[in-house]
Amino acid sequence: MASQEIEALTQALARLPGLGPRSARRAVLHLMKRRESALTPLLRALEKVNENLSVCAICGNVDTTDPCGVCADPRRDARLLCVVEEVSDLWALDRSRLFPGKFHVLGGRLSALEGVRPEDLNIAGLVSRVAAGGVDEVVLAMNATLEGQTTAHYLAERLESYPVRLTQLAHGLPVGGELDYLDEGTLAQALRARRPVA
């Protein structure tokens, strides 16, 4: 019985990750009951992002500026380049504030199953950034999945002729991980990469 406009808003919200039809309905009611404090601020924020939305021509990040905030930040170490599969990975690593360098987003991973080939990813952009010089280390921060690791190996081959250090993220026990609950693959990685007790 809700009006068409309300139905459309509910459906648009329900498509967001983390919201289902039920919580979308609650969210719509929340917005409608709080026009000044919730609906209008959300509307204005969406308008601004929509106006300024751009994909960074350098690294492939999405931001409201191009070059993106990361690429434009002079305090970041341009000699360190971290390659990730998706924008969400860039955001996750950036949030941790542990990586002081720049990023490069591939836009996916090689996948025979899904028919994703090297030319479908932003690998040419990566190679030309490395070829341009000024990069000392490339961190291949692919996911610890079969496809992520295949992609990392492929990139390592593509970049091996350049004078850069290639590294990858350590694999092993996650913080708080209990041996009893971890999969065999993780245990095998952790054992293989075991280190002397300091």
134: number of CA atoms within 13 Å, CB side? 8
- The verdict on 41 binding its own copies (CB under 8 A) reads yes
Which amino acid, one-letter code, is at 138? V
Which of 20, 134 has the CB closer to its own copies?
A: 20
Which of 33, 117 has the CB closer to its own copies?
A: 33
- The verdict on 8 binding its own copies (CB under 8 A) reads yes
Which stretch in 42-50, 127-135, 149-157, 179-187 sits in contact with its own copies by CB under 8 A? 42-50
To its own copies, the closest distance from the beta carbon of 29 in angstroms equals 5
Residue 97 has φ and ψ, to the nearest 5°, of 55, 25
Count of C-beta atoms within a 10 Å radius of residue 153 = 14
The vertex-135 CA angle with 138 and 60, nearest 5°, equals 65
Touching its own copies, residues 97-126 (CB under 8 A) = 97
Of 83, 167, 148, nearest in space to 110 by CA: 148
- The verdict on 127 binding its own copies (CB under 8 A) reads no
Helices 4-14 and 21-33: crossing angle in degrees, nearest 10, is 120
Helix, strand, coil percentages in the chain from 3-state DSSP, rounded to 5? 45, 15, 40
- The verdict on 33 binding its own copies (CB under 8 A) reads yes
Touching its own copies, residues 78-97 (CB under 8 A) = 87-88, 91, 94, 97
- The verdict on 187 binding its own copies (CB under 8 A) reads no
Task: By CB under 8 A, name the binding residues for its own copies.
Answer: 1-3, 5-6, 8-9, 11-13, 15-19, 23, 25-33, 35, 38-50, 52-53, 62-65, 69-70, 73, 87-88, 91, 94, 97
